[in-house]
A and B are shown apart, each in its own frame.
Chain A
Amino acid sequence: MSQTLRLGYLPVYGLALVGVFFILITIVGNFWASISRGADPFDLTIGNYSRLLTDDQLPLVLWNTLVIGVGSVIVTLAFALPMAWILARTDFRWKMIALAVMMAKLAIPGFITAMAYAWLFNPNSGLANRMFASYFSSEQPLFDVYTLPWICVLQGIVLVPGAVFMMLPAFSRMDHSLEEAAVASGVPARRALLSVTFPLLLPSVLAVTCFYFVLAIENFDFVALLGIPGGVKALVIWIYDVTHPAVGLPNFGMAGAVGALLFAAGGVAIIFYVRLIRRADRFSTLHGKSRYAPPVPLGRWRPWALTLFAIWIFLSTLLPLLTLIWVSLHSYMRPVTWAAVQASSVTSYLSAIDYMTEALPNTLILVAVSVIFSVICATSISWLVTRSRSRISAWLDFVVFLSPAVPTIIAATSFQYLGIVSYPWLPFYGTIWILGIAMGTRMLAYSSRIVNASSLQMHRELDEAAYASGVAPLMAFRHIFLPIVAPAVVYGALMSAMLSAKDLAMPLMMSNTGSQVLASLVYELQINGQQSIAAAISLYMIVAFGLLTLLAKIALRDPTGASPHAA
């Protein structure tokens, strides 16, 4: 009795499969590289793995990677858990502002935050360190940001908004009446919290923990900007090092082998994640109707809640932004003094424009290719997964769902390696186009999740009514499915435009001369000591990303005020 395979949807199937094909490339390319001797894909070897496993630095690298993963997650949860609970369940008065800042924080790329902290606290010339030294006539720097604990703390702080947004639905959806039932049955309120609320929320929290562990060990921003100068070893840096040797050719075989190790480490966490998500879903179906739960009064905890948010906003957003602005106004690193304020100048903003002549058009191409590719494929995938009842849809959903588990740096290695291998027939290696496709593939999971959520709210009978009225599938797709999910598609497009433009790992791995984008330009400028230009371009980027985020929010709001999912 399965739904007939609707041949009319063949183009949709095709586009979805193209998307999945590229997702598979992100893994297959890496593994293929890891068993290849060189650029000849059929000259196979296990030498890369044996060299990796006998390498002296392997234990230290694994230990550091574990510390980065666990340390970052602890910091993230220390902020995100209380913040999610405060936002979901209490009468905290500044919810809207807190949520707005967290959205706005998404517009600040992680590597720019890392860069700002490097300017403040690097042991040699960090602004804060120098000011501390001059005020207290100390020889020692206040902080050394080029160390493992700092990487964990800063990365942990930056990952907070995503973790809060991930936990928020579980926290606010949790059926309040379950607690009430416990209390009404004579269980004390505190015991109810421990024995009912926490166990119900635990799967969600653990799922977030696993997911962010993977993000933390694969994130390139902080280890690149703080770890490389400090000589900190980690898996991600290893991959970057072997593909960007000072002399000689990039060693994709070794990169593939290290990547496989990174993938395995993340894979274990992802397996736990999938199991926990399933359990969380099972718990969420326990309650039938969601009901307005009266917010818990914060009472004398109110100042503490406010302090928590204030600390996070200061560390994650305010301090880096102020640093960027200060640095952008001075041609060299100047401690904050009245004389320095008077000597401020905006010339770096003007010269920044000259520096962007190549990177800006490239970034726009990168964003356009990535967005067009990801939105078209993601919408097709969404349709298949949510509306087709096709047998391959469950399998498709699984592949797309797990694709973020492939670290960006592995995906980059895959595309680089396959780019070289296929160069004789498809000369795209090192171009902005292959970078755009690779980036678009990374955005697939994100975009399709957003369209899925919208599509799932759309009643299946809306398609069936079209077929039963004599409307062919593709026509129904175009005139009914697409218009209804359009706000979600636009939202997904704008958000992936921003995410594509702010990513550093992919361009740094894949950019050649001629395909430099803004993110890699800023990185290069700060390495070359042109901080003020780097800061100015960073601020341009943040403003543009802020506008994109705002537009995306507006796009998701239905102009008619009527829900598109009624009827």
Chain B
Amino acid sequence: MLRVTALDAEYPLDQSRVRALAGVNLEVAAGSFFVLLGPSGCGKTTLLRSVAGLERPTSGSIAIADEAVVDTAKRIFVPPERRQIAMVFQSYAIWPNMTVRQNVEFPLARGVRPVPEPERSKRVDEAIDILGLRPFTDRSVTTLSGGQQQRVAIARAMALRPRMLLMDEPLSNLDYALQARLRVELRDLFKQHGLTVLYVTHNQTEAMEVADSVAVMRDGRIEQIGDPVAIYDRPSSGFVARFMGETNVLPIIAWDAAVGRVTTALGVMNVAAPASAPDAFRHSLVFRPEALSIDGDGGFAIAAVVRQRLYQGSTYLYGVETNGQLLRFRLSSSRPLAVGDQLALRLQERDCRVVVDDPVGGPIETRA
């Protein structure tokens, strides 16, 4: 449905130029829920706005449903109103001078592709009903709550029956509980209507919950694309590992790719290393807190002392120290440990990965 090829975008800042996108390649399948994830300033919003036509890329091409909407080589630039898309903004961007109904109807009535009656009213009513806005139809949108306003924005987008729905952090202005409820609701709704969605967020929980595919972005580039499970379990870099939730990152001191041995501060472990030339300074060993356990046997033995304890509801997140390294380790709240407890931990070596790690450029700090 969407194909982005070698997309570059620059904008002037003071005297210099900032490169917001650096050679982005992306494909989104029809009917899928695709999430662009990354810290602020990584270029995800610029990418989304370029797809919408609200920004003009410096070079590269974008095709929506095989129609080139941007192709700098061929000097093609289709303005946003002709791209047959719809967009939902973080600020909702519903028109304050109109009622709920007028907001939904205006693009259908006055857009470049007007929808004739009675089809128009049918679509408007349908969208209003789907989003549960019937009781507010003729109310001024300024009297609605944040959650209701965002529903209006989504109804407006759905009534358009767009080829693609673009969403820019649509839930981040809402309170936490409403966010959690609405994102599941939206995902089901879009799946039900077969919509192709490109969704921008900086919230990895949100991304993992709703996405069919996730692209993690950093400094204008896509760091990794994959389904949420793959990205969480098999991050391609230290940056992705850290960004996708709590993780342990240990600098690699030495490795032997032939035998599959990696040396870190914890000792020598049997972990498959990439066959490429070893460059210890650019690689790290990563594993999730869940890879550590205090039960069972097998795996790599670690003797550690509990130094920190963070209550997180159903689990505790512990900071445990071993050999001067602080590791993250999670355990059910039903079995609390105390600070100072001595532990015999086991690390499943199959859950460990060697990844490229470039901590200098990484905007995200390890929280250990």
Contact = CB atoms under 8 A, between A and B. Distances in A.
- Co-complex (A, B): yes
B56 A468 contact: no
B107 interface: yes
Given A468-B80, A470-B160, A567-B142, A461 B112 contact: no
B142 A469 contact: no
B55 interface: yes
B180 interface: no
B270 to A, nearest CB: 48
Interface in A547-567: 560, 562-567
A470 B163 CA distance: 12
A464 interface: yes
Interface centre among A469, A472, A483, A567 (most CB of B within 10 A): A469
Contacts of A473: 81
A40 B46 CA distance: 57
Given A1-B10, A468-B52, A562-B140, A480 B85 contact: no
A339 B20 CA distance: 85
A1 B106 contact: no
Contacts of A484: 95-97
B53 A467 contact: yes
B159 to A, nearest CB: 9
B302 to A, nearest CB: 46
A472 B112 contact: yes
Contacts of B153: 465
B93 A1 contact: no
Contacts of B157: 469
B111 interface: yes
Contact of A462 (B56, B79, B93, B156): B93
Given A468-B86, A469-B86, A469-B111, A1 B11 contact: yes
B84 interface: yes
Contacts of B11: 1-2
Interface in A338-359: none
A475 interface: yes
A563 B141 CA distance: 11
Interface in B157-191: 157, 160, 166
Interface in A443-485: 459, 461-462, 464-473, 475, 479-480, 483-484
B300 interface: no
A475 B82 CA distance: 14
Given A469-B107, A470-B113, A484-B97, A567 B89 contact: no
Contacts of B85: 468
Nearest to A483: B97
B57 A1 contact: yes
A560 B77 CA distance: 41
Given A471-B81, A566-B96, A464 B87 contact: yes
B33 interface: no
Contact of A562 (B87, B89, B107, B143): B143
Given A470-B111, A563-B142, A1 B9 contact: yes
Interface in A515-567: 560, 562-567
Given A1-B10, A562-B143, A565-B96, A470 B81 contact: yes
Nearest to B107: A469
A479 to B, nearest CB: 6
A54 interface: no
Contacts of B77: 4
Interface string B96-107: 110000000011
Contacts, number: 123
Contacts of B294: none
A567 B79 contact: no
Given A459-B93, A465-B89, A1 B58 contact: yes
Interface in B97-151: 97, 106-107, 110-113, 140-143, 149
A473 B111 CA distance: 10
Interface centre among A1, A471, A475 (most CB of B within 10 A): A1
Contacts of A480: 95, 97
B93 A475 contact: no
Nearest to A464: B54
Interface string A1-24: 111101010000000000000000
Contacts of A566: 96, 142
A475 B111 CA distance: 8
B94 interface: yes
A466 B107 contact: yes
A466 B94 CA distance: 9
Contacts of A8: 79
A567 B96 contact: yes
Contacts of B83: 468
A471 B111 contact: yes
B232 interface: no
Nearest to A458: B96
A467 B93 contact: no
Contacts of B9: 1
Contacts of B110: 471, 475, 479
A470 B84 contact: yes
Contact of A468 (B53, B94, B97): B53
Contacts of A560: 140, 142
Contact of A471 (B53, B107, B141, B142): B107
A474 to B, nearest CB: 10
A462 B52 CA distance: 14
Interface string B1-45: 000000001110000000010000000000000000000000000
A462 B160 CA distance: 17
B81 A472 contact: yes
A515 to B, nearest CB: 40
B263 interface: no
A267 B86 CA distance: 50
B236 interface: no
B329 interface: no
A46 B89 CA distance: 61
A470 B108 CA distance: 8
B224 interface: no
A473 B80 CA distance: 10
B45 to A, nearest CB: 12
A5 B337 CA distance: 63
B92 interface: yes
A564 B54 contact: no
A560 B149 CA distance: 18
A484 B141 CA distance: 13
Contacts of B143: 562
B308 interface: no
B98 to A, nearest CB: 8
B142 A464 contact: no
B56 A1 contact: yes
A4 B54 CA distance: 8
Given A461-B91, A465-B93, A562 B142 contact: yes
Contacts of A2: 11, 56
16 contacts: A1-B56, A465-B94, A467-B81, A468-B86, A469-B106, A469-B107, A469-B160, A470-B107, A470-B111, A472-B81, A484-B95, A484-B97, A560-B140, A562-B96, A562-B142, A566-B142
Interface of A: 1-4, 6, 8, 459, 461-462, 464-473, 475, 479-480, 483-484, 560, 562-567
Name the 5 nearest CB pairs between A and B, nearest first. Answer: A470-B111, A469-B107, A468-B87, A465-B93, A461-B93
Given A464-B89, A468-B80, A469-B111, 11 more contacts: A1-B11, A4-B79, A462-B93, A462-B96, A467-B81, A470-B81, A479-B95, A479-B106, A564-B142, A566-B142, A567-B94
Interface of B: 9-11, 20, 46, 52-58, 77, 79-87, 89-97, 106-107, 110-113, 140-143, 149, 153, 156-157, 160, 166
